[in-house]
Amino acid sequence: MSSFLTLRVRTFLLMLLTIVVAFLLTGIFSLYHFRLENRNYHFERLERKEKAILSHIDYLTSNNQNKGLLATQWKPILSGKVIEISSIHKLDVGIYTSSGDLITASVVKNGPLAIFPRRLTEYAGSAKSQGRKVTNEGNFLTSTSEILGNNNRVELVVRIPYEIDPSAIPKEDVAFLRQLLLLYILLFVIGITFALFFSNYISNNIRLLIDQLKKVRINKSNEKLTWRLNDEIGELIQEYNVLVDKLETTAIELARSERESAWKEMAQQVAHEITNPLTPMKLTLQMMQRETDVTEMKSMSTHLLEEIESLTNIAEAFSRFAQMPGLKAESLDISYQTNSAVSLYIDRGVTFVSTGAVYTKVDKGQWSRIIHNLVKNALQSIPEGSRAAVEVSIEKTQDKAVVIIRDNGTGIPQQMQDRVFEPNFTTKSSGMGLGLAMVKNLIENFGGTINFSTGDHGTAFTIELPLTNIK
């Protein structure tokens, strides 16, 4: 289940659980404390009542003490008084002789009759003091106390049952509990607010880092993040900034390595292309040195000029590739731009088909260059004597613009298909073969792709570019 919850939700729930557990533990401790306080309250109240009742009985019987009266002699003296004592102090009372015989007792309203047994066995046959005792019998605390006469002899034994109400809480404790409950509610609301804020704080900062990581590009200057606190998120952001620096350094090194590799490969190709015409030029000059026929020398001169022209074309192609301007990509209707470029070749068998405006982000000048290059390649692939049929079409898919340049040429031999987009690839007898390499590089810089399919009846180059909104 936790795998479906976000970090923000998990953090909030964890903090909320901590708050609830803390409140539960505090509540349990408070409940235990108040139960203990309630018990102590009843014991203290019984003790106060007991002292008052003993004083009352001692006052009433002071004139009859130290006479050794029996239960039958005490009964007429106390029978009428015990109800009065019970009513005044609002507790039932039982009075016994020093030997434990019941003299009289008030009516027990809510307790078992055993609270006032007819005889207290612990006092049987002895007038010796047993001291104060309190026993817990069900919902009753029962106090057994003594009224002492001269020489600390037990004159009377008083038994007082005190009913405990577990739900009875002192007024001051009730007021405290109300205040504590209000405080709990306030702290709970504050705790939830803090938990929500803190979970949002953590998740938002991590989200910021995630969004920044999504923007990281190897060929761009990536923005660093700042963090004022030296905490775990700060360490994470610091590592991100270090990696950004390393990525930038790596990108520079990679670009430099690619440039060096490209120029090395280009230099090798230039050397190869230049060597090809130099060899026949050298042979021609050697033959001219030995030739005396003017007509033959003129023919040799013409051939020499053709080879020099070939060298000039090689140099111009290499110059164009090296000096290609920087891209200025913008949202353009490539259907319109392509139609403008293709219109120059209408009389040479090139047709254009489009379903309407198609917007994508390209460099206007370089897009025309791409179309011209591909159309020229298509026308040059058609054998002499054959009628050219080159079709340039543009259509839209759900999120892409698709451009197809299809010809009816001889196709690309299978052994050359893997090298179509290499800088030195060409199927023509002259030239540098830089066109398709340049086209592929431009298309990829526009965020697109270029592929081809070929056969005996022609070749089709397919370009796919991401669509953009109309601007």
Domains (range + CATH), the chain: 2-163 (3.30.450.20), 232-321 (1.10.287), 325-466 (3.30.565.10)
Classify burial at 96, counting beta carbons within 10 Å of its beta carbon; exposed 0-12, middle 13-18, buried 19 or more: buried
**218-229 per-position pLDDT tens digit:** 666 777 777 777
User: Which DSSP helix (H) or strand (E) runs through 360?
Assistant: strand 359-363
Are the beta carbons of 109 and 92 closer than 8 angstroms?
Answer: yes
Strand partners, 133: 144
* 173-177 contacts, C-beta under 8 A, 24 or more apart: 173/34, 173/37, 173/38, 177/30, 177/34
Both tokens of residue 311? 């060298």
CA atoms lying within 13 Å on the CB side of residue 101: 11
C-beta atoms surrounding 267 within 10 Å: 11
Cα 2 to Cα 7, 10, 18, 321, distances in angstroms:
9, 8, 17, 57
**144-190 per-position pLDDT tens digit:** 888 887 777 788 888 888 887 666 566 666 777 788 788 888 888 88
**287-313 per-position pLDDT tens digit:** 666 666 667 666 767 766 766 766 666
Lowest mean pLDDT among 18-27, 329-338, 380-389: 18-27
Query: Which of 337, 461, 440 lies closest to 391, judged by CA?
Result: 461
User: Across 407-457, where does the E strand assignment appear?
Assistant: 449-455
Residue 402 has what pLDDT?
Answer: 94
Q: If pLDDT is split at 50, 70 and 90, which confidence band does 254 have? A: confident
Residue 67 has what pLDDT?
Answer: 73
Q: What φ, ψ does residue 43 adopt, rounded to 5°? A: -65, -45
Q: If pLDDT is split at 50, 70 and 90, which confidence band does 273 have? A: low
User: Which DSSP helix (H) or strand (E) runs through 331?
Assistant: strand 329-333
Residue 244 has what pLDDT?
Answer: 79
Is it the case that residue 433 has pLDDT exceeding 50?
A: no
State pTM to two decimals: 0.39
Residue 432 has what pLDDT?
Answer: 38
Residues 6+ apart with CB under 8 A from 273: 314, 432
Q: Is 156 helix (H, G, I), strand (E, B) or coil?
A: strand
Query: Which of 148, 145, 162 lies closest to 89, judged by CA?
Result: 162
Both tokens of residue 460? 């089709």
Is it the case that residue 250 has pLDDT exceeding 50?
A: yes
- Tell me the pLDDT of the chain averaged across its residues: 78
Would you say how long the chain is, in residues? 471
Residue 401 has what pLDDT?
Answer: 93
Q: Is 291 helix (H, G, I), strand (E, B) or coil?
A: coil
Is it the case that residue 392 has pLDDT exceeding 90?
A: yes
Query: Which of 274, 272, 313, 327 lies closest to 438, judged by CA?
Result: 327
Q: What is the DSSP letter of 398?
A: S
Q: How far apart are CA 383 and CA 369, in angstroms?
A: 24
Query: Which of 420, 412, 393, 389 lies closest to 404, judged by CA?
Result: 393
User: Which DSSP helix (H) or strand (E) runs through 399?
Assistant: none
C-beta atoms surrounding 441 within 10 Å: 17
Both tokens of residue 76? 């007429």
Q: Buried b vs exposed e over 400-436: b needs ≥16 C-beta within 10 Å?
A: bbebbbbbbbbbbeeeeeeebbbbbbbbeeeebbbbb
Residues 6+ apart with CB under 8 A from 409: 378, 381, 382, 383, 458, 459
**115-141 per-position pLDDT tens digit:** 788 888 777 766 567 778 888 777 778
- Please, where are the H alpha helices in 105-170? none
Is it the case that residue 444 has pLDDT exceeding 70?
A: yes
